């Protein structure tokens, strides 16, 4: 694929992400994406056969962009600093008004049941779990954290975050409530806030 084709495909992905964020996954048609991108149907179908195929690329693009939080980590950051930064980035994503794809993610996974190879959220979850588990291990070794089972603690943190994402979509959640839950997790690791 040439540079121009790569740029066009990325443009479609970026615009489609905004459409999915606004409309969810199940309500978006290829025509919606054509209209938002201001391209021909043939121009879209040159790259994508379906909204499912397009949404998978949107998720991959979002996952790559989300992993950029590591650039925010200072050289002298402790394990607790890095964990807190990760949790703050998750909070920003949760409360982001424009461009939040959480509803679309859940609709996609309920409707499409993607294969393991296409399960971008599972890959992101597993990657985050390994990172948080390793951070907790490092924090225990350095004396920052107290934890008998870092892997289970990492799972608990991620399950809590996923639960708050669902709660935000269905019942609503306040910033203070998020902060209280995170404070509880940090205190359970022995971090003084």
Query: Residue 109: how many CB atoms within 10 A of its CB?
Result: 16
Q: Are residues 109 and 78 in the same domain?
A: yes
Q: Which residue range(s) make up the domain with 144?
A: 60-188
The enclosing domain of 41 has a CATH number of 1.10.10.60
Q: Are residues 43 and 108 in the same domain?
A: no
C-alpha to C-alpha distance for 183 and 193, rounded to whole angstroms: 7
Domain boundary among 13, 35, 58: 58
Q: What separation in angstroms does the CA of 137 have from each of 14, 95, 133, 144, 152?
A: 37, 29, 6, 10, 11
C-alpha to C-alpha distance for 179 and 170, rounded to whole angstroms: 19
- Residues in the chain predicted with pLDDT less than 70, given as ranges, are 66-72, 193
pLDDT per position as a tens digit, 2-26: 888 889 999 999 999 999 999 999 9
- Structure confidence at residue 180 (pLDDT): 95
The enclosing domain of 169 has a CATH number of 1.10.357.10
Give the chain's domain count.
2
> Does 193 fall in a domain?
no
- Structure confidence at residue 152 (pLDDT): 96
- Structure confidence at residue 63 (pLDDT): 79
> Does 34 fall in a domain?
yes
Q: Are 48 and 16 in contact (CB under 8 A)?
A: no
C-alpha to C-alpha distance for 187 and 191, rounded to whole angstroms: 5
C-alpha to C-alpha distance for 124 and 118, rounded to whole angstroms: 11
C-alpha to C-alpha distance for 125 and 145, rounded to whole angstroms: 22
Q: Are residues 115 and 49 in the same domain?
A: no
Q: Are residues 34 and 67 in the same domain?
A: no
Domain boundary among 41, 58, 75: 58
């Amino acid at each position: 694929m040439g540079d121009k084709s790569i740029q066009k495909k990325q443009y479609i992905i970026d615009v489609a992400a905004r459409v999915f964020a606004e409309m969810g996954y199940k309500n978006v048609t290829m025509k919606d994406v054509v209209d938002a991108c201001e391209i021909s149907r043939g121009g879209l179908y040159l790259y994508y056969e379906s909204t499912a195929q397009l949404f998978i690329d949107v998720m991959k693009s979002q996952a790559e962009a989300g992993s950029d939080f590591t650039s925010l980590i200072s050289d002298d950051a402790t394990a607790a600093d890095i964990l807190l930064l990760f949790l703050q980035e998750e909070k920003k994503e949760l409360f982001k008004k424009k461009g939040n794809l959480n509803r679309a993610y859940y609709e996609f996974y309920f409707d499409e049941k993607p294969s393991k190879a296409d399960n971008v959220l599972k890959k992101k979850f597993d990657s985050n779990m390994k990172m948080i588990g390793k951070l907790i291990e490092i924090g225990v070794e350095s004396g920052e954290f107290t934890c008998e089972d870092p892997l289970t603690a990492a799972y608990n943190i991620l399950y809590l975050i996923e639960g708050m994402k669902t709660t935000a979509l269905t019942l609503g959640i306040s910033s203070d409530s998020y902060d209280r839950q995170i404070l509880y997790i940090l205190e359970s690791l022995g971090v003084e806030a």
